[in-house]
Amino acid sequence: MNQTKLLFIDSKVESYHHLIPEVDPQTKIVILEPNGNGIDQISKSLCECLNVETIHIISHGAKGALSLGNSILKNDNIHLYAESIQKWGKCLSASGEILIYGCQVASGQEGREFVRQLHKITGANIAASETLTGNVSRGGNWNLEVIFGQLKSALAFTPEVRASYPGVLANIVVDTTDDVVDDSDGVTSLREAIIEANSTPEDDTIQLTAGATYNLTISGSDEDAAATGDLDILAGGGEITVISQGEEKAVIDAGGESGINDRVFHVVAGGFLFTDGFLLLENVEVTGGRVSGNGGGIKNSGTLTINNSIISNNSPNEVTGVIGYGSGIYNSNTLTINNSTITGNLSTSGGGIHNVGIANINNSNISGNSASLSGGGIFSFSFSSLGSTTNISNSTISGNSAYFGGGIDNDLFSTVNISNTTISGNSVDIDGGGINNTGTVIITNSTISDNSAFSSSGNFSTANAYGGGIFNRYGSLSISNSNISSNSASLRGGGIANLLDATVNISDSTISDNSATDGSGGGILNYDGTASISNSTISGNSAFNGGGISNLAGIANISDSNISSNLANFNGGIVSTGTSSINNSTISGNSAGVGGGIFIAGTASISNSTISGNSAGLAAGIYNLNSGTASISNSTITGNSSFSGASGIKNTVGGTTIVTSSIVSGNANIDVEITQSGNILISGNNNLIGTVDSLAINSFNGDRDQVGVTNPLLGELTDNGGPTLTHLPLSNSSAIDAGSNPNALTTDQRGEPRFAGEGVDIGAVEVQPQSIQEIIGTAEADFLNGTTGQDSIFGLDGNDVINGLDDDDVLFGNRDLDTINGDAGNDTIFGGRDEDLVFGNIGEDFLRGDRGSDSVFAQEGNDTIFGGRDNDFVDGGFGNDSISGDLGSDTLIGGQGIDTLSGGNDADIFELAVGEGLDIIIDFVPGQDIILLDKTTFSAITSDSGTGFSVDAEFAIVTSDSDAETSEAVIVYNSNNGKLFYNANGTAAEFGSGGEFANLTNTPSISENDFLLRE
C-alpha cells in the first residue's frame, strides 16, 4: 500500500516514544538511526513511495539548521545535499507539504533563508518553527510560524499529546568560542551550553561550529558544576550531545601546560539518587587536558559515547607529581568509541584509554600513545574479581609504547575481546610488545604484527624482554583465524610467550616470521604453561633455541598443524623439555645447528605425523636427549639431512624412544642411531626402517619390521588432502597394508579412513581406493583436464583437447577432430568419430582410434592399440606393444621393443626398422599388404626407392636361418619360419650390424613386390 503521509523522527529526540501512540494510523512512521546520515535515510524511505501528501520531520533544530541522524543540514552545506533533497520533492504530490518541527529552524534571516532554500530545491510547501517547539512550561509551543507556499495539513499529533510532551525540540547553539559565563552578553559559550543542558533532565544537543577551536580558560578544580575548570556532565541532566555542525571537527582545548591544568570533560556518576551523566561527542577533537589524577582528556564515571572524533595530546600534570591513569580517556563505567582516533596521549598507565568498566571500541584508531608503566594504547584494569571488559572490533592499535603491554595491557580478572583488528608497531621495554595479559584475551580474525619487546636505557630496563607480539602470564589467551607475524623479543617468545600456569589456545591461525633474538621460542614460548595449537601454521620464525616452538617445562598439544621453515642455532622446529603431544601434523623444512626438526628432553608423543626435509649439523629429524621419552607411531620420518648423527632419529644420553608402525627411511644420513649402550630403543613392530647403526639394529628384529629399505617409495611432500603436507606412498611401496594401529586411529594424518585396504599402512598416510572423477564436455570445442586421480572424460561434440593427467583414466573424444593425451597412468582411450590425434604417453595403455582416419601414438609402456575403422596411422613407440590396424588401409609402426602387429582387413603398410627390437606380423597378405623399409635405417640397400628391389640380388628367399647368414642378399626371408633378416655384411658369417627384424608368423609366400623402399 502506498503511504501518503510520512513521519520521520530522529531517535536523538528525547521522549520521542511519547509522541507516537496517537499518530494517524494512515501515517507511516520512520525512526532515523542516530549513527547514520539522516538526510540519506529520509531519501531512501521516500523512494519507496509516490504522490506523498505530507512529510513531518521531528528532530532537534537551531537557527537555520536541522539535526538528522549523525548529520546537520544547514545553509552552509545544503548545496551538498541538493541532489538527495530533490528526491523528496519528486516523491511528493503536486501540492505536497513538508512540516519541520525543530526548534527555531526558521528563526531570523538565517533561518528564513534555510527554509526558502528547502522550498526551492523540493518545490514543496514548507512550514517551520521560529520559536521553541514543545512543552509550554519550558517556553515551547507547537506553532509553525514561517510558511513558504500554502499549508493545508494538520499537525501530526493530537492536542492531548502535544500538551503532555515534556521536552522541546531545540539544539543549544554555541555562537562564541570564548570561555565565558555571562547571561547578559547575548551569546552562548560552550561552558554556558553545558550548564544549561545540565539544568534539566531532558536530553540536549549542543551545536558547535565546524573547524572552530573552543579554548577552556576558566581555571578551577573539581567543583563538578562546569562553571570552572573541566566541563562537567552532571548526573540527572539527561543525555547531552556535543556535535560539530560540518565536515571539519570542532576542537575543545584545555590548553596543555599553559592551560587550566584540568581535564576537558568529566562525566559524573549518578549514585543512588540520579541517573549517571551521559555525554555523546560527535565530530569533535578533545585535546590539551592536563590533570593531577585520572582522565587527562575525559574522565567518565557515567555513560560516554564518542563518534567520529579525536582524543589527542592529553597528559598528567607533572608538576603535582600525582600518578595519573588514562590520559586520553579514563573510564569507570560505560564507554563506546566509534570511528574515532585516540592519539598522542601520555600517562602512567593506559596512555590512550584506561578502562575499569565496560569499553566498546569500533572502527577506531588507538595510536601513538605512551605509558611509563602499563598499557601504552589501552590498559584494561580491575579493582576486584568483577573485572573490566574491553571489546575491540575493526580497529587499529599501533605505534603505542609502554613498559608492559605496548598496545594493550589486560589485568587480572579483566577480559579483552578483539576481532577484525590490527595491533602493530607497538613496543615495550619488558613484556608484551603488542599485548600483555594476566586476565582473559580472546582474539579472532585479527593481525598482531611488527610489535617488539626490547630493553631500553630507561628506568627498569633489562635484557630479559618476553613476548614481542603477546605476553600471557597467568592468563587465558585464545587466538583463532588470526595472524601473529614479524614480532620480536630480545629474549623469549618472539610471537607469543605463554608463562606460569597460563593457557593459550591457537586455532586456524598463522604464527610466522617472528624472532627471539637471544633466547627461546621464535614463534611460541610455552614455559610452565599449557599451549594447544590446532589447524595452524608456525613458519619462518627464528630464535637462538627453538625457532618454531619452545615448550619448556610446560604442556603443548599440537594437532593438524604445519611447523615449517623455522631457524635456530639449536632446535629449529620444536624444542620440548616438558610434555608434548603432536598429532596429524607436519614438521618440515626447519633448520638448526643441532636438532633440525624436534628436540626432546621431556616426554613427547608423536602420532599420525610427518617429519620431513629438516636439516641440521647434528640430528636433523628427531633428537632425543637427557632421559627424554619419545613415543612415535603411525608417522613418517624421511628426507631429513644432517652433517653428522642420524638424520632420522638420534637417541642419546639416557633417552628412550619407542617406534611403532612408522617409516624412518630415505633420510640423507643414517636413519636411526643410538650413541650409547644405555639408551633404550624399542620397536613396537610393523616399522619400515632404512639404515641403522650397530646398536640400533637389534631393536628392529621382529618379523613385522622391514629393515634396510633405503627407498620407502614415497611421493613428494605435497598437498595430498587435509590441512598439512604429507608423503603419499607409491603403489609399489612396501609400507602399504604392512602397518598396525596401536592407538586405534580412525583416520590418517589427512583425515582419510585408516582402514582402506587389506591392512593399515605403515606411516602417516593411508593409501585410499581411487574414486573416478567424471568430466563431460559440451557441444563446443573444449579443453578438458583430468585430475591427479582416476578420471572418466567424455568430449562430446567439437574439436576437443583432452588431458588425462595422472592415474588410470578413461578418455573418449567422441565427435569431431579431437586431440587426446593419456599422460601418466594406464589409460583407456577411444578417439570416437572423425580424425583424431591420440597419445598414450606413460603407462600401459589401451588405445582405440575408432572411426575416422586417426593418428595414434602409444609412446611409453606396453600398450594395446586398435586403429579402428578407416585408414589409420599407428606408432607403438617404446615398449612391447600389441597393434591391430583393424578395418581400413592402415600404416603400422611397432617402434622399439618386441611388438605384435596385425593389419586386419584391407591393404596395410607395415613400417619396419632394424635395431629397435623384433616386430611380429601375424596376418601379412602378399599382394595386398606392404612392408615399408627406410633406406636411412637399412643403409646397405642400394636399390632405388619404390616398389620392389631394382637390384635383384638384394632380396632373397631361403629355407634356413644359416642360409640367411651367408646369403649375398641384403634382405633375406626364411620361407619355412617367416623370419625376415637384414644381412648387413653379405656372405660373411652372422649379419654384421643387422639381424632378424621381423617375423611373419603365418609364413606367407612373399616376393620382392611386397616391399616398398623409401629414401
Q: Is the pLDDT of residue 115 over 90?
A: yes
Residues 369, 370, 375, CA angle at the centre, nearest 5°? 100
461 — pLDDT class (breaks 50, 70, 90): very low
pLDDT of residue 813: 83
> Each residue of 678-721: pLDDT tens digit?
678 899 999 999 999 878 788 887 778 999 999 999 999 999 99
CB 206 within 8 A of CB 172: yes
455 — pLDDT class (breaks 50, 70, 90): low
| Residue 400: closest CA among 447, 452, 466, 361 | 452
Same domain, 857 and 759: no
Same domain, 42 and 83: yes
Q: What is the largest CA-CA distance in the chain?
A: 141
CB 856 within 8 A of CB 872: yes
Asked which of 906, 932, 955 is the last residue of a domain, the reply is: 906
Same domain, 765 and 779: no
Same domain, 816 and 892: yes
Q: Is the pLDDT of residue 319 over 50?
A: no
The reply to whether 200 falls in a domain is yes
pLDDT of residue 799: 87
What is the span of the domain harbouring residue 1009?
946-1014
CB 761 within 8 A of CB 728: no
Could you tell me the three cell numbers for 468? 614481542
The reply to whether 212 falls in a domain is yes
pLDDT of residue 678: 64
The reply to whether 383 falls in a domain is no
Residue where the block lists cell 512550514: 127
- For 909, 966, 988, 999, 1001, the CA distances from 974, given in Å and listed in that order, are 20, 13, 18, 9, 11
Residue 1 burial (10 A CB sphere; 0-12, 13-18, 19+)? exposed
| Residue 763: closest CA among 945, 603, 637 | 637
Same domain, 104 and 162: yes
The reply to whether 762 falls in a domain is yes
R_g of the chain computed on alpha carbons:
44
273 — pLDDT class (breaks 50, 70, 90): low
Average pLDDT for residues 440-469, to the nearest whole number? 80
Same domain, 758 and 808: no
Same domain, 797 and 824: yes
Q: Is the pLDDT of residue 364 over 90?
A: yes
> Each residue of 6-36: pLDDT tens digit?
999 998 887 888 888 888 888 899 999 987 8
> Each residue of 773-798: pLDDT tens digit?
788 878 888 888 887 777 788 888 88
Per-residue exposure over 26-53, b if at least 16 CB sit within 10 Å of its own CB, e if not: eebbebbebeebbbbbbbebbeebeebb
Same domain, 622 and 753: yes
Q: Is the pLDDT of residue 320 over 50?
A: no
The reply to whether 148 falls in a domain is yes
Q: Answer with the residue of higher pLDDT: 251 or 869.
A: 251
Q: What is the CATH number of the domain that holds 22?
A: 3.40.50
Any idea of the CA torsion for 141, 147, 152, 156, to the nearest 10 degrees?
Answer: -40
User: Of the given ranges (59-63, 511-515, 628-632), which has the lowest mean pLDDT?
Assistant: 59-63
> Each residue of 857-895: pLDDT tens digit?
998 989 888 888 888 899 988 999 899 988 889 899 999
Same domain, 179 and 298: yes
pLDDT of residue 457: 36
Asked which of 170, 194, 214 is the last residue of a domain, the reply is: 170
Average pLDDT for residues 838-846, to the nearest whole number? 87
Percent residues over pLDDT 70 in the chain = 97
Q: Is the pLDDT of residue 928 over 90?
A: yes
The reply to whether 450 falls in a domain is no
Q: Is the pLDDT of residue 185 over 70?
A: yes
> What is the Cα–Cα distance from 115 to 122, expressed in whole angstroms?
11
> Each residue of 740-768: pLDDT tens digit?
999 999 999 999 999 887 889 999 999 98
Q: Answer with the residue of higher pLDDT: 588 or 319.
A: 588
945 — pLDDT class (breaks 50, 70, 90): very high
Q: Is the pLDDT of residue 462 over 60?
A: no
Same domain, 196 and 306: yes
Same domain, 225 and 131: no
Looking only at the bridges linking them, the beta strands covering 603-607 and 629-633 are: parallel
Average pLDDT, the chain: 90
> Each residue of 528-539: pLDDT tens digit?
999 999 999 999
Could you tell me the three cell numbers for 960? 634356413
> What is the Cα–Cα distance from 57 to 73, expressed in whole angstroms?
13
pLDDT of residue 323: 67
Average pLDDT for residues 192-201, to the nearest whole number? 90
Looking only at the bridges linking them, the beta strands covering 125-128 and 146-148 are: antiparallel
Average pLDDT for residues 288-309, to the nearest whole number? 94
| Residue 997: closest CA among 886, 901, 891 | 901
Could you tell me the three cell numbers for 987? 656372405
The reply to whether 103 falls in a domain is yes
> What is the Cα–Cα distance from 494 to 650, expressed in whole angstroms?
28
The reply to whether 97 falls in a domain is yes
CB 427 within 8 A of CB 454: yes
User: Of the given ranges (256-260, 309-313, 921-925), which has the lowest mean pLDDT?
Assistant: 256-260
Same domain, 725 and 843: no
Q: Is the pLDDT of residue 337 over 50?
A: yes
> What is the Cα–Cα distance from 529 to 413, expressed in whole angstroms?
18
Asked which of 135, 153, 170 is the last residue of a domain, the reply is: 170
Length of the chain equals 1015
The total number of structural domains in the chain stands at 5
